[in-house]
Amino acid sequence: MKVRLHENKDLLAGLLMVCIGSIAFYMALDYPFGSALRMGPGYFPRVLAGIFVAFGIYVALRGLRTGEMVQGVWGWKALTLITLSFWVFGWLMDRIGLIPSLVVLFFVSAFAGHEFKLKEVIILTTVMIVFAWAVFIYGLGMPYRLFWWD
Amino acid sequence: MEIFNNLIFGFGVALSLQNLIYCFVGVFVGTAIGVLPGVGPLVTIAMLLPITFNLPPIPALIMLSGIYYGSQYGGSTTSILMNLPGETASVVTCIDGYQMARQGRAGPALAIAAISSFFAGCVGTLLIAMFGPPIAEMALKFGAPEYFSLMLMALIAAACLSSGDMVKALAMVVFGLLLGIIGTDVNSGMARYSFGLPELTDGMGFTVVAVGLFAVSEIVKNLESPEKGEVFTSKIKNIMPTFADLKASALPILRGTGIGAFFGTLPGTGPSIASFSAYMLEKKSAKDPSRFGKGAIEGVAGPEAANNAAAQTAFIPTLTLGIPGSGTMALMLGALTIQGIAPGPQVMTAKPDLFWGLIASMWIGNAMLVILNLPLVGMWVQLLKIPYRWLFPSIIMFCAVGNYSINNSAMDLYLVGVMGILGYVLVKLDCPPAPLILGFVLGPLMEENLRRALLISRGDPTVFFTRPISLGFMIAAILILLTMILPAIRKKKVEAIVAGGGDKL
């Protein structure tokens, strides 16, 4: 059997933990450690980061032994589009108001689905924008402008 | 009797028009998500959490808990009618509930599910009212060492008793604790892990982590594979169970309630394990176990009572100790925190209207659920016709607007994106996000109590083992770890969870 390390579930998880833990430990070196009696701000983070790295090493080694693969496919396209819809919405909210930002959010995120039917997305966007206005602006009284000219 | 005075006081709070409306909205939304596969209670609460920031604390908590126990109710409907568990706790209900439906007895199955849920919900609520105050009173005497040991035990138990990989679950607790450090250290005023971002000096927002870890990762996971085909729906006739049905269900309901109430209070177990255990007990204690799997009404009554009792009693440690036992309860605790209420035993005395109002509202909500679930069952089934491609952009809208509204800052949404990527990768690598959020919630408290405990003891770590209550928690924590490491027990646990369909809570 061919060894496929890049799909080895536990190896990847372990390496991710080791990476994050090492960065956390390295950053915590800037914070005073203190002593057990007077714990400095670096005490708790360094201990935790160390434990996290240890877990990571264990999980990675176990992955090499068991060789379990990641289940199913990776949904990179959906993940990218959905992350993007949050980022773009946040960026636009500061600039052009709620309604145009929501239009962009719906169109970007809808592309993450398996089917993109333009007519459906337009109807969904319209209905949900009315709903959003009713709940957020009218109901909860959030103080956002609807368009950039408001 | 003090408890009755307290309950009457609570009903006074819960019966206000505003709170009744939010209770109704909560159980309504909860039922809807219980029915819909692919939209679980964690996602929904994570999605609505930021919005509750704009509400006063009492209605916010009433609504969120309505969603939680409402979803346990709603899950039984689709299990019985079409063998599709809306969420994990109702997997067991499928076994006999769906068989009853195939025999044309869908009505009685639904009715028994509703009756047992209602009964268990009421008992669960009563248990919170009875045991809440004494536990809180005891906890008020805890010092820093006791609190630290208790939290350590709760986190270890939550990681070990939940389904899946114990080592990864423990690692995720540690990761959550690390994420909880982000922000300004209260003692030294030093900004830790803020990456130079001023927004991070206040710590990472709880809702940011919750939405990223649960909502984004869940949506992306659902979008990996194509949507399933149309579901069929059938007409339901004569809802009323016969007298024989009621008689056969009475004892299973009682037993299920007991099992559920017990498992609900333990960290990491929750409704799924409770309903599975109740099913096994009914099967074992039945005169003719072969009827199970072929439409035995006891197989519906017991588990349904168990998962609802567990859903209610899970509130006991959360409300009285400030220590959540599951991901969902961590979100409830987070809801308290973003309202500016410090969770812990003092909530009951400092905010009696919140505590007793919430308990009374659970009772009212349980009654509303019977009405929502029995006569309106046809309406809920129609919900299944909504395609997921309409649902998920709407969920994203709620998450996005809600998170933006907390600080009016785009930074929170950028962080949601980052946490979403992290959450999805972790889920794909089978690292459970629920222990992470528990660690994240308890992290700052743990550090504070560890620091204080060591200050009291002059740096001597044996303080955790010399004070009797603290020692008790430590022994419990070690015992839990040991029993999970012993292979025989671990094997049994895996079997139980596989058969139970896994516990995502």
In a domain, A71, yes or no: no
| Residue B505 in domain | no
Q: Categorise residue B13: left if φ over 0, alpha if ψ from -120 to 50, beta otherwise.
A: alpha
In a domain, B353, yes or no: yes
pLDDT, tens digit, for every residue of B431-488? 888 888 888 888 888 888 888 888 888 878 888 888 888 898 899 888 888 877 776 5
pLDDT of residue A21: 93
pLDDT tens across B118-158, in order? 899 889 988 988 888 888 888 888 888 888 898 898 888 88
Question: Residue B414 — very low, low, confident or very high, per pLDDT cuts 50/70/90?
Answer: very high
Amino acid residing at B10: G
Residues of B whose CB is below 8 A from A83: 216, 417, 420-421
> Which range (B11-15, B34-38, B331-335, B345-349) has the least confidence?
B34-38
Beta pairing partners, A69: A8
- Paired with B191 in beta bridges are B184
Task: Report the phi/psi class of residue B183: left, alpha or beta, with left for phi > 0 and alpha for psi in -120 to 50.
Answer: left
Domains in chain A: how many in total?
2
**Is residue A150, in this structure, part of any structural domain at all?**
no
Task: Enter the ipTM.
Answer: 0.92
| In a shared domain, residues A80 and A135 | yes
Give the domain range for residue B295.
2-500
Q: What is the residue whose two structure tokens read 């009284």?
A: A141
Decide if B421 and A114 are in contact by the 8 Å CB cutoff: no
At residue B324, φ and ψ (nearest 5 deg) are -80, 150
Confirm whether B295 is domain-assigned.
Answer: yes
Q: Where are the alpha helices (DSSP H) in B143-198?
A: 144-161, 166-181
How many angstroms separate the CA atoms of B505 and B503, rounded? 6
CA distance linking residue B74 with residue B55, whole number of Å: 25
B233-266 pLDDT, tens digit per residue, is 556 666 677 777 887 788 888 888 988 888 888 8
Residue A144 lies in a domain: no
Residues A80 and A126 both lie in one domain: yes
Assess if residue B357 is contained within a domain: yes
**Chain A residues touching residue B412 (CB < 8 angstroms):** 90
Q: Are residues A80 and A61 in the same domain?
A: no
Is B187's CB within 8 Å of A109's CB?
A: no
User: Residue A146 domain-assigned?
Assistant: no
Tokens of B34: 């219980």
Same domain, A81 and A112: yes
Residues of chain A contacting B410 with CB distance shorter than 8 Å: 90-91, 93-94
DSSP string, B46-67: HHHHHHHTTS-HHHHHHHHHHH
- Give the global pTM: 0.83
A98: phi > 0 → left, psi -120 to 50 → alpha, else beta; which? alpha
> In the numeric block, which tokens belong to residue B192?
């830790």
Per-residue model confidence (pLDDT) at position B190: 83
Q: Do residue A53 and residue A10 come from a single domain?
A: yes
Q: Between the CA of residue B192 and those of A142, B186, B188, B451, what are the distances in Å? A: 32, 11, 10, 17
* Closest in A58, A114, A136 to B167, CB measured: A58
Q: Quick one: average pLDDT of A80-103?
A: 92
B226: DSSP letter: P
Chain B residues within 8 A of A119 when measuring between CB atoms: none
At residue B147's C-alpha, the angle toward residues A49 and B214, to 5°, is 55
Number of Cβ within 10 Å of residue B459's Cβ equals 13
In contact, B178 and B413? CB cutoff 8 Å: no
Which of B168, B190, B454 is closest, CB to CB, to A39?
B454
Is the same domain home to A17 and A57? Answer: yes
Residues A34 and A58 in one domain: yes
* B371 Cβ contact list (under 8 Å, min separation 6): none
In a domain, B15, yes or no: yes
**DSSP state letters, B357-380:** HHHHHHHHHHHHHHHHHTTTHHHH
Nearest-by-CA chain B residue for A133: B401
Name the residue with higher pLDDT: B29 or B75: B29
The per-residue pLDDT for range A27-75, each reduced to its tens digit, is 988 888 888 778 888 888 999 999 999 999 999 998 888 878 888 888 8
Distance from CA of B185 to the nearest CA of A (A): 6
Nearest chain A Cα distance for residue B7, angstroms: 30
pLDDT at residue A104 in the model: 92
- Write down how long chain A is: 150
Residues 6+ apart with CB under 8 A from B408: none
**What are A39's strand-pairing partners?**
A34
Identify whether residues A88 and A60 lie together within a single domain: no
B193: which 2 tokens?
């892990």
A61 with A19, same domain: the answer is yes
Tell me the mean pLDDT in the region B165-173.
88
Is residue B450 assigned to a domain? yes
Structural domain boundaries enclosing A84: 76-139
- A27/B188 touch (CB, cutoff 8 Å), yes or no: no
pLDDT at residue B320 tops 70: yes
User: Which pLDDT score, from 0 to 100, does residue A26 have?
Assistant: 92
Tell me the one-letter amino acid at B103: Q
List chain B residues with CB under 8 Å of A94: 410
For an interface test with B, give the residue of A31, A48, A101 to mutate (most B CBs within 10 A): A48
User: Would the pLDDT of B101 be above 70?
Assistant: yes
Contacts of B48 in chain A (CB under 8 A): none
With CB atoms and an 8 Å threshold, state whether A28 touches B424: no
Neighbouring C-beta atoms of residue A91, cutoff 10 Å: 15
Q: Is residue B291 part of a domain?
A: yes
Residues A97 and A115 placed together within one structural domain of the fold? yes
Tell me the shortest Cα–Cα distance from A65 to chain B, in angstroms.
Answer: 15
Q: Identify whether B172 is part of a domain.
A: yes
Of chain B, the percentage scoring pLDDT greater than 90 comes to 6
Chain A neighbors of B55, CB-CB under 8 A: 140
**pLDDT value at residue B86:** 61
Same-domain pairing of A39 and A17: yes
- The domain total for chain B is 1
Distant-in-sequence, close-in-space partners of B38: CB < 8 Å, separation ≥ 6: B218, B222, B388, B391
Structure tokens at B55: 């509400």
Ranges assigned E (strand) in B113-235: 183-184, 191-192
User: B249 CA to chain A: closest CA distance, Å?
Assistant: 40
The answer to whether residues B94 and B354 touch, using CB atoms and an 8 Å cutoff, is no
To which H or E segment does residue B308 belong?
helix B298-313
* Nearest CA among B373, B255, B249, B364 for reference residue B309: B255
